[in-house]
Amino acid sequence: MNRPKNPFSPGTRSTLFLLVALCLAWILPGLIGHQPWKPDEAYSFGLIHHIIQSGDWIVPTLGGEPFMEKPPLYYISAALFGKIFSFWLPQHDAARLTTGFYMALTLLFTGMTGRALWGKGHGRLGVMILIGCLGLLIRGHEMITDTSLLTGFAIAFYGLALSRRRAVLAGLWLGTGTGIGFMSKGLIAPGVVGLIALLLPLLFRSWRGKDYATCLAVALLAALPWLLVWPALLYLRSPQLFMEWFWVNNLGRFLGLNHLGPKNGHWHYFEILPWFAWPALPIALWTLWDGRGEGLKRPEVQLTLTGFLVMLGVLSLASDAREVYALPMLLPLSLLAAPGVATLRRGAASALNWFSIMTFGFFAGLFWFFWFALMTGHPAERAEHLRDLQPGYVPAFEPLPFAIALIATIAWLAIVFRVKALPRNPRAVVNWAAGITMVWVIVMTLGLPWLDAGKSYRSMVASLQQALPAKYACLASANLGEPQRALLEYYAGILTRRTEVTGRIECDVLLKQGGAADTNTLPGPEWREIWEGNRPGDKTERYRLFQRY
């Protein structure tokens, strides 16, 4: 069966420039200009900050204690970015550029994989579908290890896509991608990639060739340094910490043998995928439906479908479940959706096109209206409501973010009218990707100061620091979360002695985290409260500082 034709002909060159511009516009906003946000960014930056300060990358450390949840590839990368760009940006913003680096690699290898699988033009479609996925929008800009894990999977899929034609090169990419995934989040990447690689020849005859076997052998050799160096160094440093990472935070989490991580039902990913993977999921389903039995005979369909089903099955079997864990599933879905775009029925393509224009046009107008209300105070009722939601926000007109948001809005309108020269079906995907990018740019320019005012812990930590006694022996903490411990160290250089670890209050000052409705109970008769605070507008968390007298 022949490959699908280039869906963008005849305007191929112009769509390449458009794709690069969209990718840059999608990646860059949100990387700088705000504090580390709770929960994932805050604790991740705590680990990064420790590497920057100490130079020790073997034992991830948070708030003065080993934190063996994940291998340190992302944290090491972010520490390098933090050092290189610290002359220009605050340390946390410089570190967050790492996410932009990994997302750029992810999009690059997704495009290369789409072209390798389906032919010219389909790599561009796959990338546009991927950046259009609702679930990737926020997570793809956070300072979290899941972005480098996604890069590892993207590289590994590229290796698998090449495996039956260029075995040695494919093996190098496959092993490298698997290694990057392993050094990002542990055993999940080699487990999933290995299962996909073994199932393909077991289930499908087209994957049982000599070239594929050579690819797997080379991949194993390429992955070995990634799989062995850091674990060996960790074991030499501390066998106990090695076992905590390997057993407790890998196998233990997956099998539910400990109480770590979020607990959701095994149907969690089936529940979130309809919105999380939109629009990749429905178009991918159309690809399968349109191909019927003939489509399943294609190696390209076999790879992408097997990859998605293995990821879905493994993640659904795990004891822990979060929507961020579903990010890798967007890769095979976007790749599988790419050839289905050209064969969408006229009504479906037109519906997606107009839905994207109307939806993102509406939200763009809404966010511009909110910004205008904040800046001018009119209408008064709406402006007052927005300020009440973020009482720490002080309205201030900033020319550069305003100009960027205005340019993004005008550019989106230009794209909507200019892409009419493209075929109908690809035009719908382009308009969707352009629309979601435009809205993201507006939110991350006009709305970023307002969002950061409520999410940042900086003002709260500054207030707490001022309330600390001039002299005290040490600071204990009770129920203090990992993000808060990380930011206490970053903003104020404060390390607490957790009562959860020591079993008692060893210090003369105690910081206690609780809910807003918690009663103000003293730790004992010899204690007095000297400070109480929270983030501006936060009605769920409350922090109290006590001193022994």
534 shares a domain with 427: no
Which positions ≥6 away from 441 have C-beta within 8 Å? 25, 29, 404, 405, 408
Residue 64: inside a domain? yes
181 shares a domain with 50: yes
Contact 134/150 with Cβ under 8 angstroms?
A: no
147 shares a domain with 278: yes
Q: Looking at residues 420-444, what average pLDDT do you find?
A: 93
Residue 21: inside a domain? no
Q: Which of 83-87, 112-116, 383-387, 516-520 has the lowest mean pLDDT?
A: 516-520
377 shares a domain with 440: yes
468 shares a domain with 387: no
Say what the pLDDT of residue 12 is.
59
Q: Looking at residues 195-206, what average pLDDT do you find?
A: 97
**H helices present in 119-166, as ranges:** 122-132, 134-139, 146-162
419 shares a domain with 285: no
Decide if pLDDT at 259 tops 70: no
- For residue range 158-193, list pLDDT tens digits in order: 999 999 989 999 999 999 999 999 999 999 999 999
478 shares a domain with 450: no
373 shares a domain with 246: no
**Domain end (from 455, 489, 518):** 455
Residue 27: inside a domain? no
Distance between CA atoms of 198 and 206, rounded to whole angstroms?
A: 13
The domain tally of the chain equals 3
The β-bridge partners of 527 are 548
Q: How far is CA 464 from CA 15, 80, 174, 471, 512, in A?
A: 53, 31, 49, 14, 12
Decide if pLDDT at 1 tops 60: no
167 shares a domain with 51: yes
| Residue 261: band (very low, low, confident or very high) from pLDDT cuts 50, 70, 90 | low
Q: How far is CA 405 from CA 89, 112, 437, 451, in A?
A: 21, 31, 11, 16
Contact 440/137 with Cβ under 8 angstroms?
A: yes
Residue 164: inside a domain? yes
**Domain end (from 423, 455, 487):** 455
List the domain range (segments joined by +) for residue 543.
458-548
Residue 209: inside a domain? yes
Q: How far is CA 358 from CA 67, 354, 413, 439, 521, in A?
A: 46, 6, 12, 12, 53
Distance between CA atoms of 171 and 169, rounded to whole angstroms?
A: 5
Helix (H, G, I), strand (E, B) or coil at 4: coil
| Residue 229: band (very low, low, confident or very high) from pLDDT cuts 50, 70, 90 | very high
Residue 12: inside a domain? no
Within 10 Å of residue 387's Cβ, how many Cβ atoms? 19
Say what the pLDDT of residue 450 is.
96
Closest to 8 (Cα-Cα) out of 433, 338, 278: 338
Within 10 Å of residue 36's Cβ, how many Cβ atoms? 30
**Domain end (from 296, 324, 340):** 340
Three-state secondary structure of 356-399 = HHHHHHHHHHHHHHHHHHHHHCCCHHHHHHHHHHCCCCCCCCCH
